[in-house]
Structure 1
Amino acid sequence: MKPARAHPLWFAFVLHRVSGLALALFLPVHFWVLSYALTQPEKLNRFLNFADQPFVKLAEFGLVFFLAVHIFGGLRLMAMEWLPWSAPQKTLAAGAVSIAFLISGTFFLQVV
């Protein structure tokens, strides 16, 4: 019998937790920067100029990837709780990461 950490769905579990943590850390910063639009537009303009740098675009790709992973991971968890699972369905659940990568990669290619 395989150890739990060698199971493909364990990776999905970890990725869902990491993506949730990344989004939880990002949201306060996002709202803080958005507040500049109302209070200090010149700071917002400086930040937007900074956001045009390639490494920021790469970070945006990561953020959209984590968002897509978290959404599909949440759907996977709801399906695990409410539906009976077969082996092919488990493979499809692991494939949700590929779909998340496709969505975030499409976003990345549009902003570069």
Structure 2
Amino acid sequence: MKLKPHRHHPLWLAYMLHRVSGLGLALFLPAHFYVLAMAVRRPDSLDYFLNFAANPLVKVAEFGLVFLLAIHFFGGLRLLALEFLPWSARQKSLAAASVAGAFLVSGTFLLRAV
């Protein structure tokens, strides 16, 4: 299958990362609300869950979640810049900087969580 020419552009990748990160966060939110409800209704179950959350694999998953959040945040800033700022040929660099910033934020979180 051959990709369309616009899909080779780095900003298309930024577009897709923003959409996929939003979908990932939307899928995470119900689980997050479930755990918050557990804290109110079943504290014993919450204790079990918190012990499970100390697992190193869960820490890696948290890194992924923070990465998705950072990607979505920086992608949203990119979209705001497209809407409200005059844009130049530096779009590729700014999109790459957004991904790098997201990795920096989530990597810092991972290092502090381990």
Which category of TM-score, normalised to the shorter sequence, fits these structures? Answer: over 0.9
Aligned 1:1-112 pairs, distance under 5 A? 3-112=5-114
The answer on whether the counterparts of 2:70 and 2:105 sit within 8 Å (CA) in structure 1 is yes
CA deviation after TM superposition for structure 1 residue 8, in Å: 0.3
* TM-score normalised by length of structure 1: 0.94
CA deviation after TM superposition for structure 1 residue 90, in Å: 3.4
Q: How much is the aligned-residue C-alpha RMSD, in angstroms?
A: 1.2
Moved runs in structure 1, 4+ residues, more than 2 A? none
CA deviation after TM superposition for structure 1 residue 83, in Å: 1.7
Letter of the structure 1 residue corresponding to residue 12 of structure 2: W
CA deviation after TM superposition for structure 1 residue 94, in Å: 2.4
Counterpart CA distance in 2 for 1:88 and 1:76 is: 12
Percent identical among aligned pairs is 67
Aligned positions, number:
111
CA deviation after TM superposition for structure 1 residue 26, in Å: 0.5
Tell me, which stretches of 5 or more residues in structure 1 are unaligned? none
Letter of the structure 1 residue corresponding to residue 78 of structure 2: R
Letter of the structure 1 residue corresponding to residue 94 of structure 2: L
The answer on whether the counterparts of 2:59 and 2:113 sit within 8 Å (CA) in structure 1 is yes
Tell me, which stretches of 5 or more residues in structure 2 are unaligned? none
